[in-house]
Amino acid sequence: MTINALSAIPQIGKMLEQAFLSPYIERLSQPVVADLVREQVNGYKKDHLRNPEHIPFSLETLYSRIERACWQVNQQRLQRVINGTGVIVHTNLGRSPLDADVWQAVTEVNTHYSNLEIDLTTGKRGKRKGLLQQLMHYLVKGEDTLVVNNNASSIYLMLHEIAKGKEVIVSRGEQIQIGGGFRIPDILALSGAKLVEVGTTNITTVDDYLDAVTDNTAMVLIVHTSNFKIRGFTQSPDIKDLADLLPDHVVLAVDQGSGTTTENLPDEPSVMSYIKAGADLVCFSGDKIIGGPQAGMVTGKQSLIKRLEKNPMMRAFRPSRIVYSLLEELAVRKLNQLKTGQGIAERSITQAEVTLENKAQQLAEGFGERLRIVRSEMTVGGGSLPDQQSPSSSVEVNAISLSADKLLEIMRNWPLPVIGVIKHDRVQLNLATISDDEITYLRQQLAALFDLQLRGSCSNVTDTKKVEAAI
C-alpha cells in the first residue's frame, strides 16, 4: 500500500512541469528548483515510511511542502520591499533608492559599448571619470574629484596614500564605528598610518590638534559623527581656524559621510562648506543623501586627488561605468535643479505634514477601527543627521488577535514585503517612506489580511499564501 502510494510520485522532470513551479523556476532557476523538489520528495518519503499511519501519503501535501520550500528560498532573492519604518536612508533596506528617471536615463550607455576610456576627440585613451570632475566642481567646489566603490574605500585610500608610516591626528570624540565592523581606528591601522588621539569624547579644540602636530604628522582627519550625537557640553574645532593654523605639511581631511551637496537639509554641514572652510580633502558616500548609487567620492585639492588616483589600490577600488553614468546623470539633474535629481533623502524629508496626513488618510480609509492614524516622526538615518526628526504621520494597525511581532512577520512575507515598526506594542507604518503608488498595494494586502482574519484563518506565515491568493 505504502510502496504503491509512493510510486504515484511523478518523476522529478515531470514534476518540474507543474504550473505552480513555473514562477519559481523563473525567479530561482531550474537547477535550484529541481534540487528543492528532490529534497522535499526524499524528506516526505522518509517521513511517510517512518510513520505511515500518521503521515498518510498525499500528492497534495507533497506539492504544498515543495511550494513552501520554494517560497522560502525566494524570500532570499533581492527584491523590492515597502519601507514603513520612517527611516529614509535605511541601512538594512538598501539605503537610498535611485530615482527611476535617473536609472532609466543611463540604460543606453550601460547596455551598449561606451567611451568609458577613450577620448572621442583624439581617439586616444581617455580618463574613466568623464565629465564628473567638472560637474562635481560646480556642486561641491572641489578642484578635482575621484570616485571609488564606497566611502570606506575613500577613507582607506586617503590614509594609505597620504599617511602610510606617518601620524594621523583624530579626535577621541570621532573614533567611531560606522555600520557593521567599520571602525575608524581599525581602518587607520590597516592603512599603515599611526593614530594620534587628541581631546576628549566631548571636547576637542584647535589647540589640541596643533599641539599634537610633529614633523611626522601627515594628516588631521575630521570624521563627521553622523550616526550618533553627543549632546550637552561639547565643542569641536572650527574647521576654518584649523585649516588656517595647521602647518603646510599636514593635510586636513574630512570624512563628511552623507554627501550633502545642494540638498535642502539644514544642520548637516555640506561637502562644499568644508571645502570653503579650507579642508584639503573631503570624502563622502555616493548614495546616502546625494541620492546616487553606492559609491565613495573624494574631492578637494587637485594635486592630492592626482596622488590618490595613482595609488595602486585605486585599481581595486575603481567603480564601474554603471556608477559613473549614474553619478553624471544625477549631478546634471542636481545642477539643473530638477526634482528627479533631488535624491530620496531630500524628497522625503521635505514632504509637508499635510501631504503625509493625506497619505495616511488614503491608506486608512474604509478600514474603520482596524487602522488608526497617529502622529509620528521620520528621520534621515543611515548615518546622517543623527539628531534630527521631522513630524510625520503613521498608521497603526489593529490586528486584534495577532501579536505585533507576528504581524510584522506576516507583513515581511507578503507578496510585496512590508517592513513596519513596533510602537507601544502595535505595528505602525510610517507614511514618510511610503510612496503614493505603494498605498494601493498596502491597502490590498491589509484588506486580504483582515478578510482572512474575519474568517478566522490567518494565524501564521504560511497563510500569506492565502493572502496572495485573495488579492
Ligand X SMILES: *Cc1c(COP(=O)(O)O)cnc(C)c1O
Query: Interface residues with ligand X (CB under 6 A)?
Result: 150-152, 178, 223-224, 226, 255, 257-258, 285, 296, 383
184 sits in which H/E element: helix 184-190
Min separation Cβ 151 and ligand X, Å: 3
Min separation Cβ 292 and ligand X, Å: 11
Q: Which residue is nearest to ligand X (CB)?
A: 257
CA distance 69 to 64: 9
Inter-residue contact 213 to 251 (CB < 8 Å): no
Contacts of 159 (CB under 8 A, 6+ apart): 168, 187, 188, 191, 192, 193, 219, 221
CA distance 61 to 430: 39
Min separation Cβ 188 and ligand X, Å: 13
Nearer to ligand X, 97 or 383 (CB): 383
422 sits in which H/E element: strand 421-423
Min separation Cβ 283 and ligand X, Å: 8
Give the full edge-to-edge strand order of the sheet including 421-423: 371-381, 384-397, 426-430, 421-423
Min separation Cβ 310 and ligand X, Å: 22
Number of H helices, E strands in the chain: 21, 13
> Is residue 181 classed exposed, middle or buried when 0-12, 13-18 and 19+ CB atoms within 10 A define those classes?
exposed
**Phi and psi torsions of 76, nearest 5°:** -85, -15
Nearer to ligand X, 97 or 420 (CB): 97
The grid coordinates of residue 130 equal 568623464
Inter-residue contact 331 to 132 (CB < 8 Å): yes
Distances (CA, A) of 254 to 175, 239, 275, 277: 13, 9, 9, 11
Nearer to ligand X, 153 or 394 (CB): 153
Within 10 angstroms of residue 11's Cβ, the number of other Cβ atoms is 8
Nearer to ligand X, 89 or 246 (CB): 89
CA distance 183 to 165: 19
Nearer to ligand X, 142 or 383 (CB): 383
Min separation Cβ 201 and ligand X, Å: 17
Inter-residue contact 290 to 279 (CB < 8 Å): no
How big is the CA angle at 105 (ends 154 and 130), to the nearest 5 degrees? 45
Nearer to ligand X, 294 or 361 (CB): 294
221: helix, coil or strand? Answer: strand
Distances (CA, A) of 323 to 102, 262, 296, 374: 12, 20, 10, 40
Within 10 angstroms of residue 466's Cβ, the number of other Cβ atoms is 16
Amino acid identity of residue 50, one-letter, is: R
Nearer to ligand X, 272 or 418 (CB): 272
Min separation Cβ 152 and ligand X, Å: 4
Min separation Cβ 301 and ligand X, Å: 20
Nearer to ligand X, 290 or 331 (CB): 290
Nearer to ligand X, 290 or 429 (CB): 290
Min separation Cβ 229 and ligand X, Å: 13
CA distance 34 to 18: 12
Inter-residue contact 119 to 456 (CB < 8 Å): no
Nearer to ligand X, 10 or 269 (CB): 269
Output b/e per residue, 332-365; b: 16+ Cβ within 10 A. bbbeeeeebbbbbbbbbbebeeeebbebbeebbe
Min separation Cβ 38 and ligand X, Å: 40
CA distance 96 to 349: 13
Min separation Cβ 157 and ligand X, Å: 12
Min separation Cβ 384 and ligand X, Å: 7
Nearer to ligand X, 210 or 344 (CB): 344
CA distance 340 to 333: 7
